[in-house]
């Protein structure tokens, strides 16, 4: 059976007693049928991952921390930045790129993007559940309601920005990744309606902007995001081995 992993924002150390959330209570007791004495893993990016044992189940559930299993890790610094789209697609996309392992997710307001207000609490729950499921330790940060102009102004010059482009004349993403030193990346995916002339004006201000092709297929926004982030993740992991 797969190991049960629970994220907690609290400090974790040996012999500490932690009271878990109501959502954790429902999952552990009603779904997984856990009892007093059963072992689970708890984790966060600051403290790593620990063995813990359930010591009380009443209106809440309490666990006692025992042993460190994994120390905190430095995650590959990959951002996914995409033109805002419908909330159902965003939920799916956030879940999948969290499972792959990104450090930051930035839905961007562009001229042609959907004008939708995201549910912050709902997206955070999606991130937590995907991190628990995928054996990650670090939760990606999500920035909300970021305008493209502000996004461009706040980017630092040490981050390579990969602009996924339908133009096949751009270098293939795999060729680009194999020929560049990869430490900080931002993958930029346009909205369903594409980039406007105004958007491209802002993008052209970036010093480290590199258009790349994802191949001969034309992907939807969510597919392009998942494909490109997965390529970056694999290359950066290989560099760190």
Domain residue ranges in the chain: 5-70, 77-240
Q: Tell me which fold the domain 5-70 belongs to.
A: Ribosomal Protein L25; Chain P (2.40.240)
Taking the C-alpha atoms of residue 174 and residue 177, their distance in angstroms, rounded to an integer, is 5
Q: Where are the beta strands (DSSP E) in the chain?
A: 5-7, 17-19, 39-44, 48-57, 61-70, 77-83, 104-109, 141-142, 146-147, 160-165, 184-189, 209-213
Q: Rounded to whole angstroms, what are the CA distances from 113 to 147, 148, 189, 195, 199?
A: 10, 11, 11, 9, 11
CA distances from 15 to 46, 67, 129 (A): 17, 9, 25
Record the pTM: 0.91
Per-residue pLDDT of the chain (241 residues), as tens digits, is 578 999 999 999 999 999 999 889 999 999 999 999 999 999 999 999 999 999 999 988 999 999 999 999 988 999 999 988 876 788 999 999 999 999 999 999 988 888 777 888 899 999 999 999 999 999 999 998 789 999 999 998 899 999 987 766 788 999 999 887 778 999 999 888 888 889 989 999 998 999 999 988 888 889 999 999 999 999 888 876 5
> Taking CA 231 as the corner, what is the angle to CA 89 and CA 219, rounded to the nearest 5 degrees?
40
Tell me the CATH class for 77-240: alpha beta
How many angstroms separate the Cα of 205 from the Cα of each of 50, 151, 152, 210? 45, 11, 8, 12
Q: Return the half-sphere exposure (C-beta side, CA atoms, 13 A cut-off) of residue 203.
A: 26
Strand 146-147 and strand 184-189: the pairing is unpaired
């Amino acid at each position: 059976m797969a190991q049960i992993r629970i994220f907690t924002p609290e400090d974790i150390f040996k012999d500490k007693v932690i009271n878990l959330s109501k959502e954790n209570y429902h999952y552990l007791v009603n779904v997984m049928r856990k009892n007093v004495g059963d072992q689970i893993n708890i984790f966060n990016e600051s403290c790593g991952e620990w063995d813990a044992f359930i010591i009380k189940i009443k209106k809440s559930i309490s666990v006692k921390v025992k042993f460190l299993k994994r120390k905190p890790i430095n995650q590959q610094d990959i951002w996914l930045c995409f033109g805002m789209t419908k909330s159902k697609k965003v939920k799916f996309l956030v879940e999948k790129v969290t499972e792959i392992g990104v450090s930051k997710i930035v839905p961007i307001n562009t001229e042609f993007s959907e004008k939708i207000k995201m549910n912050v609490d709902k997206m955070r729950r999606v991130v937590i559940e995907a991190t628990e499921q995928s054996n990650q330790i670090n939760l990606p940060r999500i920035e909300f309601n970021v305008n493209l102009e502000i996004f461009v102004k706040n980017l630092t010059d040490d981050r390579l920005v990969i602009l996924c482009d339908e133009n096949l004349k751009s270098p293939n993403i795999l060729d680009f990744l194999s020929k560049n030193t990869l430490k900080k990346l931002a993958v930029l995916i346009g909205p369903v309606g594409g980039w406007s002339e105004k958007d491209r004006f802002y993008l052209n201000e970036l010093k480290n902007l590199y258009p790349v092709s994802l191949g001969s297929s034309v992907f939807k926004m969510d597919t392009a995001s998942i494909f490109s982030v997965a390529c970056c993740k694999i290359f950066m992991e290989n560099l760190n081995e």
